[in-house]
Chains A and B, each alone.
Chain A
Amino acid sequence: MPTLIRNRQIVDEPLPPPDLVVLQVTDDPAVLADRIGGRGAPIGAIAVHFPKFSDGRGYSIARLLRERYGYKGELRATGEVARDHLYAMAQCGFDAFELRAGEDARAALGAFGDFSEQYQSTVTQPSPLFRRRAG
């Protein structure tokens, strides 16, 4: 059972959530637009599978799910997910993380605090730093 971090806490998950939809990084998240909009089969959670440490497509997919298609439910990063990814993944809208084997989950929790601020407009902070700085 891989270690799961959900809402910045280590949780046990004996069984995968019902109605879990898994997206590969080659998938277009538009395929879920209807279901996210409440038409079609319900979605329990969406997982985006990262095939490699350095494959960055999942970050854009997460933003599209959150910002374009308005997905509000659990968005989970799976696959090659290391503590070094967590800060940016969270900024892009992931709120659950299945750490790859060998990651120290407790140490990984600290990674959400790697940075105290970011310059860009992100899912968790749509107002970019320059708008908040100005205010």
Chain B
Amino acid sequence: MYRYDNIDQRLVDERVAQFRDQTRRFLAGELGEDDFRALRLRNGLYVQRYAPMLRIAIPYGLLSTKQLRKLASIARNYDRGYGHFSTRQNLQLNWPKLEQVPDILAELATVEMHAIQTSGNCVRNITADHFAGVARDEIVDSFLWCELIRQWSTFHPEFNYLPRKFKIAVNGAVADRVATFVHDIGLHAVKDAAGDIGFRVIVGGGLGRTPSVGHVIREFLPWPHLLTYLDAILRVYNLHGRRDNIHKARIKILVKERGVEKFRDEVEAEWLRLRDGPATVTAEEIRRIEARFTRPQYQKLADVKYPETKTPFSAWMKRNVHAHQQPGYAAVSVSLKKTGVPPGDMTSAQMERIAELADHYSFGELRVTHEQNLVFADVRQSELPGLWHALRELGLATPNIGLLTNIVCCPGGDFCSLANAKSIPVAEAIQRRFEDLDYLHDIGELDLNISGCMNACGHHHVGHIGILGVDKNGEEWYQVEIGGNQGQSTISNRDGEGNRGLSLISASLGKVIGPSFARADVPDVIERLIDAYLGLRDSENERFVDVVHRTGVEPFKKHVYANLDQKPADRRRALAAA
């Protein structure tokens, strides 16, 4: 954890006071609805379908157990006793009261937390690899750089009112586990021939209604120039990004309309004037940030081998336990994707129990992943069976990381006022259909993402299978895409080939397979896609998304739309008989 110094703390406290006054003025009628909207959003407060929604920042997804306990108590005292972990590694409360939000923020500030810039047209929470600091393929610890950027972006006086929201992701490892190509800015750490650290700068990616894969505008930016370069990009965007149409306001549209070359030239020209200026990052500052991070005190341990068996523990080891830099340690994914529970949801009681477990098993820290799960990053391998038992009791040991039922899903029409359709019941119906673990493991790695509208909070464009809720004459329908890929390599510690992700770094966007479906048909459609895949794959190593890239959408499309009225089980029988 980065520990605040007195200035970090003071700034957060001052923000609470500022927002308390803004809320007071709004409630007193001194501040109009529109103006207050711009101010409350940058403090994480939405007004949703049934109630306000408060999005609490978990910077780069890193959380201490003290903080998690505070979140649990806030969810219990100010809300309905649960929270929702989002794809931006934040926590959302769905039922707070507007007039109590300043008090919630004040409570958060006591544990070095806040809701600053979790919404609004400003730089949002920076996302990072949830295996930062422990991944074997690490180049830099991305948390240090995220904290540097967090401070740079916090209340940046020039960039408070951008044309639209702005999302930055930092990847510090060889494999891209943060989807750098679908962010406004993706930063991918690289080492040059001399061993110096820099960043590949990717701009203009994004999801939403105009999904785009980002462009590399600089292959190697030496790290001291990181902030001046970000200033240059943001300034070009702030001055020239479109403000006439909310749907064309993201930086991806500016990059597209200007052309990548011209955009890059403008950024570089701007940067030349900022370069080597006072915002140039110093080695001292990196060391200072590093020193303010708590680091686990690892013991000297040997690796512990567990024989592969047919037991549930073994299945969990295979899917949810990941390789670690330190011998004798492992990283563990805590699955928040148990069937019947909305993806990413957690009750206060679960949070408190998880905090106890993280204290006992993982140095009192945990991470939130952009796939809406949790990670215990530093678990002794010898304690894995004990942790598994404890997680199983909580219903948080579902061995489905990287598998079809690890569904990424937005809150959808059950909560969100933007949604065209519900997403949580769709996720549940699919999870029920694929409950058989052996079948699930046989299908292998598969990212399934669901968004309730084209704002794409469930990142459906980069799901191997992506489902999008659409509105057709007031009815909820679902469009299905296949072949998306977030560029996230899966963790390859199972077979000891740590570099498997290398070929997967570039992201791709899914293609729609055809007309949309009624909600009740979605599980059948998924089953048909899987049927088609199992028939097409050349081996168990060829994943669903690999097959789509090899064969294209057509064979899948055929299989899904042929005899759509027939149940898959009947079709299978018919196929078998033929």
Contact surface of A with B, Cβ cutoff 8 Å: 53-57, 59-61, 63, 68, 82, 84, 87-89, 91-92, 104, 114-122, 126-131, 133-134
Residues of A within 8 A of B197 (CB): none
The answer to whether B285 and A130 touch across the interface, beta carbons within 8 angstroms, is: yes
Out of B14, B39, B284, name the residue touching A134 (CB < 8 Å).
B284
With known contacts A60-B239, A120-B152, A53–B279 Cβ distance under 8 A = no
Q: Is B303 an interface residue (CB 8 A)?
A: no
Chain B nearest CB from A109 CB (Å) reads: 14
Closest 7 CB pairs of A and B: A56-B161, A91-B157, A88-B157, A130-B285, A121-B279, A119-B151, A134-B284
A131: which B residues are within 8 A, CB to CB? Answer: 278, 282, 285
In the complex, chain A residues whose CB is within 8 Å of the CB of B22: 84
- Chain A neighbourhood of B10, CB < 8 A: 116-117
The answer, yes or no, to whether B66 is at the interface (CB within 8 Å) is: no
- B157 pairs with A87, CB closer than 8 A: yes
**B157 touching A118, Cβ below 8 Å:** yes
Q: Pick the contact of A56 from B14, B154, B238 — CB < 8 Å?
A: B238
What residues of A have a CB within 8 angstroms of the CB of B160 in the complex? 56, 59, 88
Name B's A-contacting residues (CB within 8 A).
5, 7, 10-11, 14-15, 18, 22, 30, 34-35, 38-39, 121, 151-152, 154-163, 227, 235, 238-239, 243, 273, 277-279, 281-282, 284-285, 288
Given the known interface contacts A59-B238, A60-B238, A119-B151, the answer about A126 and B35 at a Cβ–Cβ threshold of 8 Å is: no
A57 CB contacts on chain B under 8 angstroms: 238-239, 243
Count of CB-CB pairs between chains A and B under 8 Å = 104
- With most chain A CB atoms within 10 A of its CB, the pick from B10, B18, B279 is B279
Given known A59-B161, A84-B22, A134-B282, contact A115–B35 (CB-CB < 8 A): no
Provided the pairs A88-B160, A127-B278, A130-B282 are in contact, do residues A115 and B152 lie with their beta carbons within 8 angstroms?
no
| Nearest-Cβ distance from residue B17 to partner chain A, whole angstroms | 8
By the criterion CB–CB under 8 Å, are B7 and A53 in contact? no
Interface centre among A89, A119, A121, A131, by most chain B C-beta atoms within 10 angstroms, is A119
A10 to chain B, nearest CB (A): 18
Check A59 against B158 for contact (C-beta < 8 Å): yes
Distance between A98 CB and nearest chain B CB, rounded to angstroms = 17
CB within 8 Å for A84 and B35 given contacts A60-B239, A120-B156: yes
A-B contact pairs, 12 of them (CB 8 A): A56-B162, A59-B157, A61-B239, A119-B154, A120-B152, A120-B279, A122-B158, A126-B277, A129-B151, A131-B278, A131-B285, A134-B285
Give min CB distance, A71 to chain B, whole Å: 15
Bound CA–CA A56/B282 (angstroms): 29
B161 touching A54, Cβ below 8 Å: yes
Inter-chain contact B238/A53, CB cutoff 8 Å: no
What distance in Å separates the Cβ of B258 from its nearest Cβ neighbour in chain A?
A: 15
Q: Please indicate the chain A residues that have their CB under 8 angstroms from the CB of B281 in the complex.
A: 130
Knowing A53-B35, A60-B235, say if A121 contacts B155 (CB, 8 Å).
Answer: no
A63 & B154 in contact (Cβ 8 Å cutoff):
no
Q: Which of B14, B121, B285 contacts A116 (CB 8 A)?
A: B14
Choose one: B35, B155, B285; the contact of A118 (CB below 8 Å): B155
Q: How far does the alpha carbon of A53 sit from the alpha carbon of B35 in the complex, in Å?
A: 7
8 additional contacts (CB under 8 A) given A56-B121, A117-B10: A115-B18, A115-B155, A116-B14, A117-B11, A120-B157, A122-B157, A130-B281, A131-B282
Tell me the complex Cα distance, A74–B376, Å: 55
| Residues of chain B contacted by A55 (CB below 8 angstroms) | 161, 243
Using A84-B39, A116-B10 as known contacts, say yes or no to A121 and B162 having CB atoms under 8 A apart.
no
Give the complex CA separation of A131 and B235 in angstroms: 22
**How many whole Å from B171's CB to the nearest CB in chain A?**
23
Check A114/B14 contact, CB under 8 A, given A119-B152, A126-B278, A128-B279: yes
Residues of A within 8 A of B163 (CB): 56
Q: B273 — which chain A residues lie within 8 A by C-beta?
A: 68
Contact present for A92 and B282 (CB under 8 Å): no
A63 / chain B contacts, CB cutoff of 8 Å: 158, 235
Q: How far is the CA of A110 from the CA of B272 in the complex (A)?
A: 37
Choice from B11, B279, B284, B288 contacting A115 with Cβ under 8 Å:
B11
What's the nearest-Cβ distance from chain A to residue B45, in Å?
15
B38 touches A128 (CB 8 A): no
Residues of A with C-beta under 8 A to B279: 120-121, 128
Q: Considering only CB atoms, which chain B residue lies closest to A123 in the complex?
A: B157
Q: How far is the CB of B106 from the nearest CB of chain A, in Å?
A: 16
Instruction: Give A114's nearest chain B residue, CB to CB.
Output: B18
Chain A residues whose CB sits within 8 angstroms of the CB of B11 once the complex forms: 115-119
A23 CB, min distance to chain B CBs, angstroms: 12
Interface residue from A54, A104, A116, A128 paired with B278 (Cβ < 8 Å): A128
